[in-house]
Amino acid sequence: MEFCFDDLMKMVAAELAHKFKFHPLCQQIGLTNIFFANDLCILCSADNDSICIIRNVITKSGEATGLKPNLSKSSCFFAGIPELLENSLSAVMDIPKASYLLSI
């Protein structure tokens, strides 16, 4: 079975259109990710639906390509939300919360 990234995006497009919420500062330009060398930052609103969509896309793309994130090098970053919600969303992703080096 042939697979390309466009096929994956078509599979989740309908779900994304109805449930996914952009990070408030990224919505106007439609920004969902940023690449830095070997790193990928995925940006979204801090809600369960958006986090579940991201988790499902990562899972589906891993199943299709055999590429999976290295969870020992992965972290969830949160800002401006209650710690209880941070813990809940981090658990949904099954990725630990990052410890910040700086306090703002």
Contacts of 50 by beta carbon, 8 Å cutoff, 6+ apart: 19, 20, 21, 44
Spatial separation of the C-alpha atoms in residues 18 and 104, rounded to whole Å: 34
Residue pair 33/43 in contact (Cβ under 8 Å)? The answer is yes
User: Is 19 domain-assigned?
Assistant: no
Does residue 16 sit in helix, strand or coil? helix
User: Is 61 domain-assigned?
Assistant: yes
* pLDDT per position as a tens digit, 11-21: 656 566 667 77
Domain holding 50, by residue range, is: 1-8+38-99
User: Is 20 domain-assigned?
Assistant: no
* pLDDT per position as a tens digit, 42-101: 778 888 888 888 888 788 878 878 888 888 888 888 888 899 999 999 999 888 888 765
User: Is 82 domain-assigned?
Assistant: yes
Q: In this predicted model, which residue has the larger pLDDT, 87 or 10?
A: 87
User: Is 43 domain-assigned?
Assistant: yes
User: Is 42 domain-assigned?
Assistant: yes
**In total, how many domains does the chain have?**
1
User: Is 29 domain-assigned?
Assistant: no
pLDDT bracket for residue 6 (50, 70, 90): low
User: Is 92 domain-assigned?
Assistant: yes
Q: Is the pTM value of this prediction over 0.75? A: no
Does residue 12 sit in helix, strand or coil? helix
